[in-house]
Amino acid sequence: MSLNRAISLLYDLHPGTTKAEDGAPPHERPHKPLLLLAVLDLIDEGRATPNRIPWCQELRDRFSARFLLVRKHNDQNTPENPFFYLQTQGFWEAWIEDGSRQIPLQTTPLVRQMGKVFARFTNGIEHLAALPDARDAMREALLSRYFPQLRAIEGMEDEAPAADRAAIAADEGANEQTEYGRSPAFRRLILDIYDHQCAACGLRIRLSAGNNVSFIDAAHLIPFAQSHNDHPTNGLALCKNHHWAMDRDIIAPCPDLRWHVSPLIDPRRSNGEQELHELAGKSLLLPKDPAFHPDEEGLRWRCGKLSA
Ligand SMILES: [Zn+2]
């Protein structure tokens, strides 16, 4: 398995989203990526190997330490859930030892089963997880995708690690411009969430199976180089035209969830400018799941850059 493929899998953990309730906005559950971060810690420390990840107190403690920083609303501190449910991702198996036999774990493990329950990476990820550089890249991907707010706390604010730069370089070939998405994983995620539809004009052109031939780009609201934020709420699917116009601050998505257009645009000058002008006041075309709607901070940032 290539590192890029592994990062794609990590970007696509389907952690589940909440509904809006008791006035709290919907959000993605943090459990699966938190457990994987805890596992990478244990492997770094020699307390686990990719082929034997014990269900143990150290794992629970590392899960809880980050959980307390990122929990939202009614999230529960339950590392046993992802320990079991990560098995649906196709790269994780959980087992229990019964005498000399190992049998597949049938349900979430209990605290009293520590010492008997363990998990392992499969499907090729186990080879990557054995390599310190690949573990760093995987940790970096998990933080950028799920918990960009933790980067500062974990002391990785300033540097883009080597693996990150490699991902950028690899992406340039497919995507032309680095700022148009750090990684193929972000692009796939955004196109999937937006169902390949431009959030400005609604254009959807998809030539065949696979995202690489889509006409639609994955745009960051606050550029990745500045934010290191690959969370889908920092993204937007846009056609080439509207991506171009947004990146030149001619159009901007604003916190009122409508498009705003720079007064520099003169609709009398050309059909092209008239079309951009007509976007003013139109609603953003957003994904169905409100947990993935653009966040206020990114919209404010874009809106503030609109050329006056
Ligand atoms: Zn468009």
If you measure from the C-alpha of residue 290 to the centroid of ligand 1, how many angstroms do you get, rounded to a whole number?
21
- Do 196 and 121 belong together in one domain? no
If you measure from the C-alpha of residue 198 to the centroid of ligand 1, how many angstroms do you get, rounded to a whole number?
5
Whether residue 300 is contained in a domain is answered as yes
Residue in 166, 167, 134 with CA at minimum distance from that of residue 44: 134
If you measure from the C-alpha of residue 201 to the centroid of ligand 1, how many angstroms do you get, rounded to a whole number?
4
If you measure from the C-alpha of residue 23 to the centroid of ligand 1, how many angstroms do you get, rounded to a whole number?
33
If you measure from the C-alpha of residue 46 to the centroid of ligand 1, how many angstroms do you get, rounded to a whole number?
50
If you measure from the C-alpha of residue 278 to the centroid of ligand 1, how many angstroms do you get, rounded to a whole number?
12
Whether residue 167 is contained in a domain is answered as no
Last residue of a domain, one of 118, 143, 168: 143
- Do 8 and 99 belong together in one domain? yes
Q: Which pLDDT value is given to residue 20?
A: 81
- Do 135 and 190 belong together in one domain? no
Which residues have a beta carbon within 5 Å of ligand 1, which is an ion?
A: 198, 200-201, 203, 239, 242
If you measure from the C-alpha of residue 200 to the centroid of ligand 1, how many angstroms do you get, rounded to a whole number?
5
Torsional class of 115: left (φ above 0), alpha (ψ -120 to 50), beta (otherwise): left
Whether residue 191 is contained in a domain is answered as yes
If you measure from the C-alpha of residue 232 to the centroid of ligand 1, how many angstroms do you get, rounded to a whole number?
18
How many CA within 13 A on the CB side of residue 185? 24
- Do 11 and 139 belong together in one domain? yes
User: Residue 19 contacts by C-beta under 8 Å, 6 or more apart in sequence?
Assistant: 26
Domain count, the chain: 2
- Do 113 and 185 belong together in one domain? no
If you measure from the C-alpha of residue 244 to the centroid of ligand 1, how many angstroms do you get, rounded to a whole number?
10
- Do 90 and 208 belong together in one domain? no
Using CA atoms, how far apart are residues 260 and 242, in angstroms rounded to an integer? 12
- Do 138 and 181 belong together in one domain? no
- Do 128 and 188 belong together in one domain? no
Using CA atoms, how far apart are residues 135 and 225, in angstroms rounded to an integer? 21
- Predicted model pTM: 0.86
Q: Which pLDDT value is given to residue 213?
A: 67
Token duo for residue 79: 């590392």
- Do 128 and 13 belong together in one domain? yes
- Do 112 and 181 belong together in one domain? no
Whether residue 156 is contained in a domain is answered as no
- Do 26 and 133 belong together in one domain? yes
- Do 114 and 56 belong together in one domain? yes
Whether residue 164 is contained in a domain is answered as no
If you measure from the C-alpha of residue 204 to the centroid of ligand 1, how many angstroms do you get, rounded to a whole number?
9
Whether residue 148 is contained in a domain is answered as no
If you measure from the C-alpha of residue 164 to the centroid of ligand 1, how many angstroms do you get, rounded to a whole number?
29
Whether residue 63 is contained in a domain is answered as yes
Last residue of a domain, one of 143, 164, 198: 143
Whether residue 235 is contained in a domain is answered as yes
Mean pLDDT, consecutive 10-residue stretches, the chain (308 aa), reads: 92 90 87 98 97 97 96 94 97 95 96 96 97 95 94 67 49 38 80 95 79 81 93 96 96 98 94 94 96 96 92
Q: Give me the domain span that covers residue 213.
A: 176-305
If you measure from the C-alpha of residue 176 to the centroid of ligand 1, how many angstroms do you get, rounded to a whole number?
18
Last residue of a domain, one of 98, 123, 143: 143
Quick one: three-class SS letters along the chain? CCHHHHHHHHHCCCCCECCCECCECCCECCHHHHHHHHHHHHHHCCCCECCEEECCHHHHHHHHHHHHHHCCCCCCCCCHHHHHHHHHHCCEEEEEEECCEEEECCCCCCHHHCCCEEEEECCCHHHHHCCHHHHHHHHHHHHHHHCCCHHHHCCCCCCCCHHHHHHHHHHHHHHCCCCCCCCHHHHHHHHHHCCCCCCCCCCCCECCCCHHHECEEEEECCCHHHHCCCCHHHEEEEEHHHHHHHHCCCEEECCCCEEEECCCCCCCCCHHHHHHHHCCCCECCCCCCHHHCCCHHHHHHHHHHCCC
